[in-house]
Structure 1
Amino acid sequence: MSTLEVIALPHLPQYPLCVGLWKNVKNASFLRQQLLAGNADFEYAFLDASVVLSRMQFLAASFRGINDFASNRMKSHNVHSEIVFSFSPNNNIAESFRRFGISDSTQHVLAIKVCSTPDITAESVSQHLQQNIEGEQVEVSDAALAEVADQARLRKIYKLNVQAKKGAANGAASTTSEIKELETSILGVMALKGS
């Protein structure tokens, strides 16, 4: 059963997103190789879900990437790589792919596909991802993303002094308010990039 979600951004409804989340992915190296080889069938924003804290974070990056695509201001080679780049706190494209894109050791994958042409449909994207990602597909929810997010790594990437509370630092789950505080800080850093 597919839990691929179709999301229309309010200001860019002509570019709906197909979004899926997979846990315990066994073939991240295959997916990465397809991206590196420039295989057009694998033109997605494949993200390491451990550096995606919430839906708001990936929606903000998607909006910026699609807006740059629609305005012809992209700094990377396609709208999907522009989305990955939009997660970055700085303007180094290669670094953004190392930090946010999938690696051979990625365990949890967030896949985003922009339906930029009529031939890209939710059904075709879902079928392609189901056939090519070996992992457990789960609902794309804030709870599922927070569960796989590496909050210490996110604090380091975004250079945030937002410290985890005592329990969270010892491996216990962060509270909803702590996650929201971290999310707000991350979104602020993402918004300031390039301004």
Structure 2
Amino acid sequence: MYLPLFQQTPLSVFVFENVENAEELHQELIGQNPAYDYAFIDASSIVSVKQIYSAAMRALQAQSDGQMKSKTLHMEVILSLCPKTEISTALRQFGMTKKSKNIVVLEINGAPSEEEELARVAKIVQGKQLPFCDETLKKLADMKLVKKYYKLDAAAMQNPTAAILSAIALRGYS
């Protein structure tokens, strides 16, 4: 898939539930293994495909403008999900941990076809792949965490996606 403003940049997103090797994945990420150069996101904090696409768009725009706050584009995606500007907070709230059971794996500039990228990801993630869609993400989301991370009030909880997209767009401006 390609985002509208970045038609030359392939984007692949996969969702996995019941991940059995989260601790191993986490160790490889900490060790900065280049074979694990993906954005590994804890699915409990994601409610919509638009949330992922907005974060990817913001990260690509930051890269294009020379305004990245992190070392890698995939880390910039995780930072873009967070309404705060601290990388450590973004990793703690949105990054995959040793205890993550359900994850979203995002790849920017990967294989030209999604099938090829899925084959690569499926070799390193031991879990059941699910469709990347709003229904799946809503099922895996922990709305208490989402409410806490994005500081959503009762009115915002009526349409959390809109409030979350606003928070992603306005991060750093408040």
The TM-score with structure 2 as length reference comes to 0.94
Asked whether the equivalents of residues 45 and 146 of structure 2 are also in contact (C-alpha less than 8 Å), the reply is yes
Which stretches of structure 1, 4 residues or longer, exceed 2 Å deviation after superposition? 120-125, 162-165
Q: What is the alpha-carbon distance in structure 1 between the residues aligned to residue 22 and residue 64 of structure 2?
A: 30
Distance 1:75 1:164, change over 3 A: closer
* 1:186 aligned residue: 164
- Which amino acid in structure 2 is aligned with residue 121 of structure 1? P
Choose the corresponding residue for 1:15, options 9, 19, 40.
9
Q: What is the alpha-carbon distance in structure 2 between the residues aligned to residue 56 and residue 129 of structure 1?
A: 22
Distance 1:151 1:15, change over 3 A: same
Asked whether the equivalents of residues 155 and 162 of structure 1 are also in contact (C-alpha less than 8 Å), the reply is no
* 1:99 aligned residue: 93
Determine whether 1:26 maps to 2:20.
Answer: yes
Choose the corresponding residue for 1:81, options 45, 69, 75.
75
Say which SS state the counterpart of residue 41 (structure 2) adopts: strand
Choose the corresponding residue for 1:65, options 54, 59, 62.
59
Structure 1: state its 5+ residue gaps.
Answer: 1-6, 166-177
- Which amino acid in structure 2 is aligned with residue 42 of structure 1? Y
Choose the corresponding residue for 1:137, options 119, 122, 129.
129
Structure 2: state its 5+ residue gaps.
Answer: none
- Which amino acid in structure 2 is aligned with residue 65 of structure 1? A
For the aligned residue pairs, the C-alpha RMSD in angstroms reads 1.6
Asked whether the equivalents of residues 156 and 163 of structure 2 are also in contact (C-alpha less than 8 Å), the reply is no
Deviation digits for residues 87-138 of structure 1, max 9, x if unmatched? 011111111001000001101010000016xxx3334422221111111001
- Which amino acid in structure 2 is aligned with residue 193 of structure 1? R
- Which amino acid in structure 1 is aligned with residue 128 of structure 2? E
Determine whether 1:41 maps to 2:19.
Answer: no
TM-aligned CA deviation for residue 164 of structure 1: 9.3
Asked whether the equivalents of residues 162 and 182 of structure 1 are also in contact (C-alpha less than 8 Å), the reply is no
TM-aligned CA deviation for residue 72 of structure 1: 1.6
Say which SS state the counterpart of residue 19 (structure 1) adopts: strand
The TM-score with structure 1 as length reference comes to 0.84
Say which SS state the counterpart of residue 27 (structure 2) adopts: helix
Say which SS state the counterpart of residue 105 (structure 2) adopts: strand
- Which amino acid in structure 1 is aligned with residue 107 of structure 2? K
Structure 1 or 2, whichever has the larger Rg, is 1
Asked whether the equivalents of residues 62 and 86 of structure 1 are also in contact (C-alpha less than 8 Å), the reply is yes
Asked whether the equivalents of residues 10 and 112 of structure 2 are also in contact (C-alpha less than 8 Å), the reply is no
Deviation digits for residues 153-179 of structure 1, max 9, x if unmatched? 1000111113698xxxxxxxxxxxx4x
Determine whether 1:161 maps to 2:153.
Answer: yes
Identity in percent: 30
- Higher RCO (CA-CA < 8 Å; seq separation 6+): 2
Deviation digits for residues 19-66 of structure 1, max 9, x if unmatched? 100011111111111111010110100000110100010100010011
Residue-pair matches, total: 172
